[in-house]
Amino acid sequence: MPRLLLATVALSVVLSACDAPAPPIVPAAIGPVASAVPAPSPDEVAYVTAMVDHHRQGLRLVEVLRERGGVPYRISNLADHMAAIQKTEVTDMTDFLNAWGRRLPSAPMHMSEARIDALRTSAGAAAGRTFLQLMIAHHEGAVQMSTAVLPAARNPWVISLARHVIADQSAEIAAMRRAVQEPL
């Protein structure tokens, strides 16, 4: 009987809490948000612009890989994963630049056409291995660029982006290095 009484009291407390009015929602102070965030410096704009180009080149590598036949599933799946992330990040970075009134100039590709042709002319497991080798070097470049921008970065979004690129692409580098060592 005491258990039933305890359960009844507990249920009454819970149900009465449901009838309690919600605390009032107090709007935050409204003011110019942009003035609270430092505008990106020319170096930060250059970094974000370079990362857009860098990501687009990575997406190009994935497109070339998709054209190859017989690529091991594990590698094509990894490539699709990276492409999905990088497409979203290109949109985010472009929106960031547009929000600050910065145009996205065209920048030269970082990887030579000869290296891309090596992927284009391979197939199957060889294409998968070539893709991994190219993408490892490509990601290492992104990590270096991101590491270089951090010491002088002041814009919180740019700092967050650089840290994100370092963390995510370092993890992807490790996964790709493991995959290169395994039989494909």
**DSSP H helical segments within the chain, as ranges?**
2-19, 33-36, 42-67, 73-99, 113-120, 124-149, 156-181
Delineate the domains of the chain, giving CATH numbers in brackets.
Answer: 38-181 (1.20.1260.10)
* pLDDT band for position 37 (cuts 50, 70, 90): confident
Residue 62, both tokens: 């994935």
Closest CA to 146 of 43, 68, 66: 43
For residue range 45-101, list pLDDT tens digits in order: 999 999 999 999 999 999 999 999 899 999 999 999 999 999 999 999 999 999 988
Q: State pTM to two decimals.
A: 0.75
Top-ranked range on mean pLDDT: pick from 29-33, 103-107, 172-176: 172-176
pLDDT at 27: 34
The CB-based long-range contact list for 64-68 (8 Å cut-off, 24+ gap) reads 64/116, 64/119, 64/120, 65/119, 65/127, 65/128, 65/131, 67/120, 68/119, 68/120, 68/122, 68/123, 68/124, 68/127
Q: Average model confidence (pLDDT) for the chain? A: 81
CB 152 within 8 A of CB 41: yes
pLDDT at 6: 41
The yes-or-no verdict on residue 22 having pLDDT over 60 is no
CA–CA separation, 79 vs 85, rounded Å?
10
CA–CA separation, 101 vs 94, rounded Å?
11
Which of the two residues, 113 and 107, has the higher pLDDT score? 113
N-to-C CA span, the chain: 67
CA–CA separation, 13 vs 126, rounded Å?
66
Q: Please tell me what DSSP assigns to residue 86.
A: H
